[in-house]
């Protein structure tokens, strides 16, 4: 992500860059979610939300923040859509 930009929201820290094809990654850090089961669940939630969106070209990394521990799937979806609209990928 050299030469990329950063956008911060309530639940995510989003690193992004313009690329010719859409490619997105979700990272659930170990200092936020202690067990691998919780980390994998949060990553799967993010991937399932992004799967149904019609995305333009661009790549990005969604990193969960500590505030996302008590968030619901609906809140995560709203935050992802907000980020993608602000950065111009949706």
What are the strands of the beta sheet with 58-64, ordered from one edge? 5-8, 12-17, 58-64, 22-27
Provide the pairing of β-strand 12-17 with 58-64: antiparallel
Beta carbons of 64 and 28 less than 8 angstroms apart: yes
For the domain that residue 45 is a member of, what is the CATH number?
3.30.230.10
CB neighbourhood size of 66 (10 A): 11
% of the chain exceeding 70 in pLDDT: 100
Question: What pLDDT score does 62 carry?
Answer: 97
Q: Give the total number of structural domains in the chain.
A: 1
| Region 77-90 average pLDDT | 94
Residue appearing with tokens 């859509």: 81
Instruction: Give the model confidence (pLDDT) of 30-61 as tens digits.
Output: 999 999 999 999 999 999 999 999 998 899 99
**What range defines the domain where residue 14 resides?**
5-87
Question: What pLDDT score does 27 carry?
Answer: 97
Q: Specify the pTM.
A: 0.92
The closest alpha carbon to 56, from 78, 27, 28, 84, belongs to 84
Residue 60: is it exposed, middle or buried by C-beta count within 10 angstroms (0-12/13-18/19+)?
A: buried
């Amino acid at each position: 992500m050299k030469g990329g930009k950063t956008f911060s929201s309530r639940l995510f820290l989003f690193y992004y860059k313009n690329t010719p094809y859409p490619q997105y990654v979700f990272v659930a850090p170990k200092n936020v979610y202690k067990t691998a089961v919780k980390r994998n669940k949060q990553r799967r939630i993010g991937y399932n939300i992004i799967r149904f969106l019609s995305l333009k070209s661009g790549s990005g990394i969604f990193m969960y923040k500590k505030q996302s521990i008590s968030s619901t799937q609906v809140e995560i979806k709203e935050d992802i859509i907000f980020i993608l609209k602000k950065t111009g990928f949706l």
